[in-house]
Amino acid sequence: MGMVVVISLPLILFSICLGFGCYFLGRAKGRQDVRTNAQVFGVPTPPPGSGSDSFAASPPCKSFYTSTSPTPKYIKPDNSANV
């Protein structure tokens, strides 16, 4: 029983210290990144060397502007024949 306590107790304490150390160092690193690199939310810039029109949006389809939608080609049966 004494051997289990001698081996496992230092391992448990080391794991707890390692966890706290990683937590605090990571938090400090994250706060430093926020101060130095501002987050920019928006449209990403195209990579260098690519044409500026490669990211142009395609025109919407014709059915977007029409007021009536086309009739579906296949209508699913409603199982009223099985009742």
Of 3, 34, 58, 44, the closest CA to residue 11 belongs to 3
Q: Are 70 and 63 in contact, with CB atoms under 8 Å apart?
A: yes
CA distance 13 to 7: 11
> How much is the pLDDT for 4?
67
Using one digit for the tens of pLDDT, what is the confidence trace for 5-35? 677 888 899 999 999 999 999 999 988 888 8
More confident residue, 39 or 58: 39
Q: Are 69 and 63 in contact, with CB atoms under 8 Å apart?
A: yes
Using one digit for the tens of pLDDT, what is the confidence trace for 42-55? 887 888 887 655 44
H/E segment holding residue 51: none
pTM of the model: 0.40
